[in-house]
Structure formats: structure tokens, C-alpha cells
Structure 1
Amino acid sequence: EMTPEFMEIVNKCKTEHEPTEDELKGMMALKVPESANGKCFMGCVLQEIGVVKDGKFDKEEAKKHAASKMTDKDELEKHMQLIEKCSQEVGGETDSCGIGPKLMECIKQFAPEFDIALPQQPSE
């Protein structure tokens, strides 16, 4: 969900990286942006949230972030497993512009495995 704090982060990163409206809409549905701007925008948001530090994915911070958002123990456990998995997948990535797209691909690929519902893709 979009908290005012999160919207502030989004707007700050939008100003810095200028992704297109289409890219922004696409990202809501886990569509990886094509442009460097879009990719760096993702990295910017992840850095502002704190799950990316110095261009690297911070697994512990991601877990804390998930824990602060979820009350359901089972859901949280599934997300912890997904974070664990994706932190291995993006572990070698040290560029914050590359990390966002990689993370998104990983979530799309492995969320169903952990029985995590993803946002619906809007039909074209």
C-alpha cells in the first residue's frame, strides 16, 4: 500500500531519475522497466527504503522491513524465505541500478514457489 512516506520516496526518486508514466504503471505490476532511468529509479526507491545499501541488497534490512509490514506469521515466514532466496540471486550485483530489476525478476520467478500472491498484471 502507498503510505505518505513511501509516496515521498517515490516522488524524490522520480525527480532524480524521471521514469516514464508507463514504466511507473508497469512497475506496480512488477514489470521491469526497459530504460536506464526506470532501472535507476527502482534502485533509488530500494535505497531510500533501506533494503539496498551502497549498491548491495541488505537482506537483514529487507527482513526487518517485511516484519514491520506484516502481522500474519505464515505470510511473513513465506516472505522471509523469498528474501533469503532473492538475496542469493542478487548477491553478486553491486550496482543499485541493476539490483532493482534483478530483485523484481527474482520475486516474479520465486514468489509462486513460496505461495506468495503477486499483484495482477493489467491486461494490455
Structure 2
Amino acid sequence: MMRATTAAAILLLATVAKAEDSLIEIVTREVKGCMDSEHLGSIGGLRSYNDPNSAEQKCFLGCMLKKFKALDADGQYSAEGLKTTIQHCPRMKSHPDIQKAALQVADECNGKVTGCSDYCSCAPLAAKCLHEGMKNKSFQTIFIALDEALDKMQS
């Protein structure tokens, strides 16, 4: 995977952040909530850029993408929802090159996440499109904060 020097700057859950909470604390809280709601007992090797291996992993990823507003309430891909999250992220604003790439990728995925019926089936398609789009622009996955939280939870 290509690495960007500013990859750690990606913060997508700023809209739900409290001033005293760190990024990893926020994302970890959301991860635990989605693990509970989707009956996922272990995060194992799950990452935003890996294909989920089970129904629980697919639904967990869908739950997280709903938190990022990449999926709407019906579980369908929402470029506008994701772009709103990206635009309101203070750290993304401080790295306009990453923000611009993320906004472009959100739009590019709009017509590519199709043929799925709910958040569990749409999540892997959306995550793969977003990851590949960012990789093609020489940045890490748009969901780097999610992956950092998953790494921290495993250590």
C-alpha cells in the first residue's frame, strides 16, 4: 500500500467529536458500538481495505461506513454524505491536497457502488472503491483513522 506522509491527518469522525476526545478514542468507541450491534466478537485481521470474510464483518464495516456517512440510513452509498463529513473535518481542512483527493474519490465511487441491497452488502463495495481511489491518487485509505483504531484495539 502506498504511504502518504500526511496519512495520519485523515480524521473523518470530527463531526461527532467532543473537544476533549482524541481521534482514536472516538473511533474506538464507534468500533466497539458497531462490534456490539453487529455481533462481531473479534476484529481479527479486519481492516477497511481487506475484504470482509463473514456476514458479521460485512455488517460491521457497513455500520462503520454509516458512521462516516458513506452509507445512508438505507445502506446505500452516499457521496454527498461522505463529502459532508470530509468537508467538516478540521484536520482534512488543514491538508487541502488530501481533502481534495478524498472529495474526488467520493464522487468517483458514486456510480460504482451498485447492485447491493443494504449496508451489509454495500459496505465492501464502497470500502474497496474508496480505498482503490485513494491509492490511485498516492494516498492511503480514506479510512486510516478506522484502521489505526483497529490496530490499537488489537495491541
Alignment TM class, shorter chain as reference: 0.7 to 0.9
- 2:68 pairs, out of 23, 26, 49, with 49
Q: Which has the higher helix share?
A: 1
Q: 1:59·1:83 contact (CA, 8 Å) conserved in 2? A: yes
CA distance in 2, matches of 1:49, 1:115: 21
Higher relative contact order (CA 8 A, sep 6+): 2
Offset, 1:43: 0.7
CA distance in 2, matches of 1:17, 1:35: 11
Alignment of 1:39-78 (within 5 A): 39-53=58-72, 54-69=74-89, 70-71=92-93, 72-78=95-101
Q: CA RMSD in A?
A: 2.4
Query: Which stretches of structure 1, 4 residues or longer, exceed 4 Å deviation after superposition?
Result: none
CA distance in 1, matches of 2:67, 2:133: 24
TM-score scaled by length of structure 2: 0.65
- 1:10 pairs, out of 9, 19, 31, with 31
- Number of residue pairs aligned between Structure 1 and Structure 2: 118
CA distance in 2, matches of 1:65, 1:14: 22
TM-score scaled by length of structure 1: 0.79
Unaligned runs of 5+ in 2: 1-10, 12-22, 148-155
Check if 1:37 corresponds to 2:56: yes
Unaligned runs of 5+ in 1: none
% of aligned pairs identical? 21
